Amino acid sequence: MAVKLMHYWTINPSSRDEYAAFMIKKFIPGVNRLGLHAVAGWSVLVGSYSDVIMETVSSDLDQLEAALKTRDYRLLKSELLNLVKDYKTRVMVPIPKRGSYSMSISPDTIKFNQMWDVITLKPGDYKNYEQFVTHEFYPLLEKIGVHLAGEWEVLIGDEPHTVCEGRVTDVSALVPALQSPEFRRAKKKLKLIVENYQSRILSFHIRKIKGFRSEGYEIVDH
């Protein structure tokens, strides 16, 4: 079971060059050696939150816990905190049978992430939510070109507690799709059964590059 450790921060303006070198030469190789695989870094294009979201994945909670207790991780985090501000983390686990998460991401991908809390005031509320997202909302996302990469539960970190991870490769079609009557109606219906709804559009900040014999990483913007 993939477990995500998401890191959030804003880069100190005076440390941008040092930050870029640190991320590529030390932080990413370091977390990879600890089993916290660096999938990608993301810049928030639309939506209020930290400027950068770093996506790392471990195989399970035990591996994640073991990595976070190591001296190597503490040193990496300490050095990172000298280069960024407003640092925070989230631990997320997948909600079964939701999407098809992959750590391999096309280089032209944009993310459309939505977050919310399910309203469960009376018996049957969660069942109604499950029925709606399974049979209406998520199929509509796929129809308008937003691939459901996964639905995640936030175990540790800020609310909202449900994260719908969407990936888009046809970027030019995303905004018209989100402005379509179909999506507007579906989002309105979703908001009747959830609260604290938020959404963000993300683009690559750090991405993998494939060399002749190995994979590396590059800063897209900093």
Quick one: pLDDT band at residue 29, thresholds 50, 70, 90?
very high
Residue 215 CA to residue 205 CA, distance in Å, equals 17
Helix (H, G, I), strand (E, B) or coil at 34: coil
| pLDDT for res 96 | 87
pLDDT in tens, 83-119: 999 999 999 999 988 888 898 999 999 999 999 999 9
Residue 127 CA to residue 9 CA, distance in Å, equals 36
Q: Beta strands 147-156 and 84-94: pairing type? A: antiparallel
pLDDT in tens, 39-86: 999 999 988 778 899 999 999 999 999 999 999 999 999 999 999 999
Quick one: pLDDT band at residue 21, thresholds 50, 70, 90?
very high
Q: Which domains are delineated in the chain?
A: 3-93+204-219 (3.30.70.100), 110-203 (3.30.70.100)
Note whether 143 and 135 are within 8 A (CB): no
| pLDDT for res 1 | 76
Note whether 190 and 132 are within 8 A (CB): yes
